[in-house]
Amino acid sequence: MKNTRIIIAGDLLPMPCNYELFSAGDTRALFGEKLCRLFSSADYRVCNFEGCFTDSDRPIEKIGPSIKAPPNTICAIKALGIDYATLGNTHSMDYGIQGYLDTCRALAENGISFFGWGENTASVKSYAEIEDGGKRIILYNTTERFDNAPKYDYPGVNLYDEYRVCRELQELKEQADFLIVLYHGGIEGTHYNSETIRSRFHRMADSGADVIISQHTHAVGEEERYNGAYLLYGQGNFCFHFRSEVTPLLAEGLVLELEIGDSDFSAKPHRILRTDKGCVYDDAQDLTEFYERSKTHDRLLTGDETADAEFTRQFGRDCANWTNVFFSLFRGANPLDNEKRASLSPAEFTEYLKRSYTRQQLLGMQMFMRNEEFNEVGNQILSDLLKNTDTKENLS
């Protein structure tokens, strides 16, 4: 049997800065000659569509951005040769039922298979199948909960539930020669995976997954080889210009090339670099930092205390970028408080927080975040408050 080559890209959705190029199908201007050749050399191409293809102007009520692109911008995606798209992610339900219907129609009309969501709880399609060279390869998509849950009469995504997902992976692996999981989750802006994500990946690998890739973080993480499986913690963006400023996090991404044989496989990450309008192949292929993080990760798994301390420090540093957002939500809508907070540097803001909360209050917040029972209680309280308020203001 022949080997099967699959290219898997990260988050992709046209943005206003490149609508014209996407609508014109101008792949060379968007992605450059080398990247286009890499895609055309594969047997199959997969990516994550981080939003809706719709002209609807009625997003759902939520905190955070609602992301969409005009349906005609799919032209360049089709021209690039994308065969399969994952839609089990954090933004695919941003425009509700209309966004769901429009996106399904746009993809179907352009011959792009999609999975990871469905029209209701009972019809969510979690996977797609590839039959190639006598091999059966399954692509499986699951995601964390972000205003995207399906209901019995409402569309949504394939939410991660450990028992159900791992059982389904075991059943699928019995029917397949190769199983690829595309997991949409983790903490945005982190180069280092959390203990929770690491445990989930190991359990999915133990359940039969051969390759597991996490998207959503918009940052390149590290790789691991575990129990015969290849794990990629953080692929970074492919072409997702939601933020105009190009930070180091957003400047790079990985495109993963898989070559699947009869009894083995290879996984090769290719580094790509963001441009003003799209992304291009990195001629230098400088993956030094990626491989260094991966080595630290491997040492951590052996119980190396130095590696564990380094991993914990770096993960904590990345998470600290969310401090202002997290505590601003708890501080309420006091305009004087918001004005004062906006004038502080990150270090000053940390000291301000220490003066603003007692240790018991901070422990209480941690309890609601950490404990499953109180997490459910907190969600129920917030749901009831949202049902009984007409407030539409966004906190600054």
How does residue 396 score in pLDDT terms, banded at 50, 70 and 90?
Answer: very low
pLDDT > 90 in the chain, percent: 69
My answer on whether 73 and 138 are in the same domain is yes
> Domain end: 238, 270, 302, which one?
302
Contacts of 324 (CB under 8 A, 6+ apart): 341, 346, 349
Q: Give the number of other Cβ atoms within 10 Å of residue 364's Cβ.
A: 13
> Domain end: 302, 335, 360, which one?
302
My answer on whether 353 and 250 are in the same domain is no
In a domain? residue 281: yes
User: Which DSSP state fits 89?
Assistant: S
In a domain? residue 160: yes
My answer on whether 284 and 368 are in the same domain is no
My answer on whether 221 and 288 are in the same domain is yes
pLDDT in tens, 112-124: 999 999 999 999 9
In a domain? residue 46: yes
Cα–Cα distances (Å) from 84 to 48, 192, 232, 256, in that order, read 9, 28, 19, 15
In a domain? residue 23: yes
pLDDT in tens, 178-199: 999 999 998 888 899 888 899 9
How does residue 317 score in pLDDT terms, banded at 50, 70 and 90?
Answer: confident
My answer on whether 286 and 331 are in the same domain is no
My answer on whether 58 and 163 are in the same domain is yes
- Unique residue bearing structure tokens 């080997």: 3
Number of domains in the chain: 2
Closest to 6 measured CA to CA, from 224, 266, 356, 193 = 266
My answer on whether 274 and 327 are in the same domain is no
pTM to 2 decimals?
0.88
In a domain? residue 338: yes
Task: Identify whether the C-beta of residue 237 lies closer than 8 Å to the C-beta of residue 11.
Answer: yes
Task: Identify whether the C-beta of residue 214 lies closer than 8 Å to the C-beta of residue 193.
Answer: yes
How does residue 395 score in pLDDT terms, banded at 50, 70 and 90?
Answer: very low
My answer on whether 156 and 236 are in the same domain is yes
Range(s) of the domain holding residue 334: 322-387
My answer on whether 252 and 370 are in the same domain is no
CA-to-CA distance for 156 and 117, rounded, in angstroms? 6
CATH, residue 16: 3.60.21.10
My answer on whether 294 and 347 are in the same domain is no
**pLDDT, averaged across the chain:** 90
pLDDT in tens, 244-281: 877 787 899 999 999 999 999 999 999 999 999 999 99
My answer on whether 254 and 349 are in the same domain is no
